[in-house]
Amino acid sequence: MTRTPLLLVMAAVVLVSVATGLARPAIAFYTRYSLESTMLATASLTSSFMLGRMLTSIVSGIASELAPGRKWLLASLPAALAGLVVYMIPSTDSPSLVIALMAVWGLLGGLAWPTVQIAVAEMAGGRSGAALSVYFALGTVGVSAGNWLFGHLDIGYGEVVRLGALLMVPPALLIGVALGMHPPSGGGRGVRALAGHLRSRLVAWVLLVSLVLGMLNGLLREYFYIYSHEVYGLSREALGGLLGLAGVAAFLAGLASGALADRVGIPPVLAVVTLTAAAGSVLLGIPHGSVLLLGLGFVLASVGVRASMPLTRNRNLLPGAGGAAVVGLSNAALNLGVLVSPLVAGFLYEHGWGSGGGPYLALGFVLPLVVGLLYPRRV
């Protein structure tokens, strides 16, 4: 295990996660209330962001396989540019422009962060599951801290967004230093040789899990912020508290899932966390239920989604060639799910069907339940 670069990466993850947790809900509220956008347009913030990430996540995974020595540049430059893009958002006066800037932010993130995840697994060697658990757990803590700050900072939505943008620059520099210190793993591989390593039942199932949990993940972001406020009456402060509580629970689950998978294997652990996410969606989908059930459902769903990430983003899922490409593909599959579900949910909400919890039951419960029960016992 390469300690110093790994510690620098972990520090960068905390910082950028705080910035993201601060900016994302502020952008949603800015778009919905300052720009007076529709619920569909507000939910589309998630979709546009994930469209960008989906497109470039595949690129980052393949590039890490073919040119492993350039990971430091592929990660640090887009991460720094993302801060500039986010800083521009409060200067716009159109929801359409905000949606476009979110897509650019997603494009940059899709290049940067799958590359970092690949590097973390390489630095950790045989303890990649545990290292990725810490990586995502620290990300959860950072996002939760940013969410808490969003709920308690007594400044306007636009100022909160700009503060988050400024906080994104230092971690980009740390990433560049850390990945520059770590020697690349292996040499470049040909595209045909790489494709041959990706044909397995396990890879297909992991990508399917990433897709369906991505759909649920898309319903736990901007859509949930507005859904919980308008249907259940959650205040800005209460929302920040719930997001923080869910983050703590997801932090603990995330620490456990990757380390456990190092011992017993990825498929059974991934199946359990997928079913946990489905259970949370049942509670979220109860038509006009109590705030207590809403909060419990959000916590369980968040735990399932976050605990899956150290498993589906582990480049050691395939020893040797192909592992880095799987990280990029699983990022892309999750991003596709996050892209689709807010559009569906926002459309249903605008037409009077989504406020009853239908999207959570259909997309967040049924699909994860089926996929979780179909995990491959033989891979």
Arithmetic mean of pLDDT, 86-111: 95
Count the alpha carbons within 13 Å of 118 in the hemisphere toward its beta carbon: 43
Q: How far apart are CA 54 and CA 60, in angstroms?
A: 10
pLDDT, residue 225, reads 84
- 268 pLDDT exceeds 90? no
pLDDT, residue 250, reads 84
Q: How far apart are CA 217 and CA 314, in angstroms?
A: 19
Q: List the alpha helices (DSSP H) in 125-200.
A: 128-152, 157-166, 169-181, 191-196
What is the per-residue pLDDT across 238-264, written as a single tens digit (0 to 9) for each? 888 898 889 888 888 888 888 888 888
DSSP state of 67: -
What is the per-residue pLDDT across 159-179, written as a single tens digit (0 to 9) for each? 999 999 999 999 999 999 999
- Name the residue type at position 76: S
Structure tokens at 221: 């972001």
Arithmetic mean of pLDDT, 132-160: 88
Structure tokens at 119: 């590097």
pLDDT, residue 320, reads 57
- 285 pLDDT exceeds 60? yes
pLDDT, residue 287, reads 79
pLDDT, residue 186, reads 52
Whole-number percent of the chain with pLDDT over 90: 32
- Confidence class of residue 322 from pLDDT cuts 50, 70 and 90? low
Structure tokens at 207: 């990508």
pLDDT, residue 240, reads 82
Domain spanning 3-373: CATH 3.40.50.300: no
Widest CA span in the chain:
56
Helix (H, G, I), strand (E, B) or coil at 94: coil
Q: How far apart are CA 102 and CA 90, in angstroms?
A: 12
- Confidence class of residue 190 from pLDDT cuts 50, 70 and 90? very low
Which residue did the predictor score with more confidence, 85 or 345? 85
160 contacts 153 by C-beta, under 8 angstroms: yes
Which residue did the predictor score with more confidence, 354 or 3? 3
Whole-model pTM above 0.85?
no
pLDDT, residue 172, reads 95
Domain ranges of the chain: 3-373
- Confidence class of residue 151 from pLDDT cuts 50, 70 and 90? confident
Whole-number percent of the chain with pLDDT over 70: 91
Q: How far apart are CA 81 and CA 108, in angstroms?
A: 7
194 contacts 86 by C-beta, under 8 angstroms: no
Q: pLDDT averaged over the chain?
A: 84
pLDDT, residue 321, reads 53
DSSP state of 117: H
Angle between helix 95-124 and 39-66 (nearest 10): 30
pLDDT, residue 198, reads 56
Q: How far apart are CA 239 and CA 14, in angstroms?
A: 21
Nearest alpha carbon to residue 310 among 178, 120, 71: 120
- 184 pLDDT exceeds 70? no
- 14 pLDDT exceeds 50? yes
Answer positive or negative: Cα dihedral of 350, 355, 358, 363: positive
Arithmetic mean of pLDDT, 192-213: 73
Which residue is it, tokens 């359990």?
A: 272
140 contacts 250 by C-beta, under 8 angstroms: yes
First to last CA, the chain: 28
323 contacts 332 by C-beta, under 8 angstroms: no
